[in-house]
Amino acid sequence: MGNDKLDFTIDTLGPCTIASPIKLSTVPGDMTARYVSDDSYVINQVNVFDTSKPIVLDSSNLMQKAGPREKIYFDPTHAKAGICTCGGLCPGLNDVIRAIVRCLNTRYGVKTVKGYRFGYHGFFAEEGYEPIELDRYLIDEIHKIGGTYLGTSRGGGQRVEEIVDCLERDGINMLFIIGGDGTQRGSYDIACEVEKRGLKCAVVGVPKTVDNDLMFIDRSFGFETAVQRAKEAVAAVHMEAASQINGIGLVKLMGREAGFIATEAALASHETNFCLIPEVPFEMEGDKGFLACLERRLAKRGHAVIVVSEGAGQDLLTSTGATDASGNKKLADIGVFLKSEIEKYFKAKNIEINLKYIDPSYQVRASVTTAADSIYCERLGNNAVHAAMAGKTKCVIGLVHDKFVHLPIKAVTAHRNAVDPTGSLWRDALDATGQPTLMINDIEKAKAKMAAAVAEAQKKPSEQKK
């Protein structure tokens, strides 16, 4: 993150003067759930590396706690809400939609909730996607299926004026946007256009990235489900590998710039022997390269399981140079590349192998949530509604140090999170797999690659290479 000055101040539409219809307590110890005040915070930096430095207690280190306020900004009898889901699929989208609608309807009494279909494209009249009138009865069962009830798409977030035109026509005064960092950058621009026009519309995001690469938050919703489904794929391919002569199981998982899913799946499975992620470079050839390490593993144990993130080893492949509708660079297929290179290597050595390759990415993305993720989505959706009703805007809801907080969109989307190759998570993954610390022949070259990868991950998304 460099020397960026953090500011966790949350924008609001104005003073809250309306008594909340949710009747909670203001008295500690009366056995009744309590409101949350605006002066309740969570400290961002809790790891102490230098005890001589004081703990900073200002907006650069304090994150405002989320939750229901005693006084709210919007009159629920006149409030109209909108919801949209953008980007790729992720477990838990329907759970979040359901939580938002139910909290608006049952806790605050908001009657009008419009679901805008197919992401930002649902705001453009010429595309003909009429919004869905949502209520708690319509969406009561949607958490039992994967995908998104509202549909999704990529792109369109740059057409800010048209989106705000739609909000103004429909009388929307709180908009909930569920999507990743690109989507949330678009939501910030929408909030700025709302402010420019003098409209009173809260824009609150629920951050979605199955890769778990958003800054500050403990985890993204759907991530735990993704790891569970990935673990199941690893278990299946391990059974195949262990049942064959020189069996090799290869699983490609999501993770464009961050290898969290692959790393945690390797830890959870206890059956992964090699975990390849974008943050840690590796070479194919040479005595210390991946292929030679794989050969030694087969000679010793007779089978091997490899888990690879989709963004790993991109320096070994030819880039397509293309981008998708969200502006993300299209990655070369590391899974197919590894399969081909492994087969060629052992064929040249006249060593029999039996390789099984699995790419469960879309199956994982479309999954129904685990219990823990479903609970998390419910609480994220509820806290998003509490924030909007209190007039909070230009913010997302996140879990930090196991507490729900409001986070400014600009802070969350300024950089991406990544696995730290020198940190405890990766160290534990190395212990679990037993793989070499680095599968590379030139250590200085490896250090330079790792430093470059970290620097690239920490760049502002707009500055990253296309």
Maximum alpha-carbon separation in the chain: 78
Q: Check if the beta carbon of residue 236 is closer than 8 Å to that of residue 246.
A: no
Annotated catalytic, 211?
A: yes
R_g of the chain computed on alpha carbons: 24
CA gap 22, 382 in Å, rounded = 12
* Selection from 96, 274, 61 nearest residue 179 by Cα: 96
Number of C-beta neighbours around residue 451 at 10 A:
11
Output the CA–CA distances (angstroms, integers) from residue 417 to 103, 379, 455, 459, in the order listed.
Answer: 30, 23, 11, 10
Residue 394 tokens, joined:
């230009």
Which residues have a Cβ under 8 Å from the Cβ of 66 and sit 6 or more positions away? 36, 383, 386, 387, 397, 404, 405, 406
Residue 188 amino acid letter: Y
CA gap 362, 254 in Å, rounded = 9
Q: How far does the chain reach from its first CA to its final CA, in angstroms? A: 20
Q: What share of the chain is helix, strand, coil (3-state, %, to 5)?
A: 35, 15, 45
CA gap 182, 186 in Å, rounded = 6
- Sign (positive/negative) of CA torsion 93, 95, 100, 105? positive
CA gap 372, 440 in Å, rounded = 38
Q: Check if the beta carbon of residue 183 is closer than 8 Å to that of residue 177.
A: yes
3-class secondary structure, 114: strand
* Selection from 219, 215, 119, 221 nearest residue 409 by Cα: 215
- The single residue of 95, 189, 211, 213 carrying the catalytic annotation is 211
Residue 20 amino acid letter: S
Q: Check if the beta carbon of residue 239 is closer than 8 Å to that of residue 346.
A: no
Please identify every residue annotated as catalytic: 211
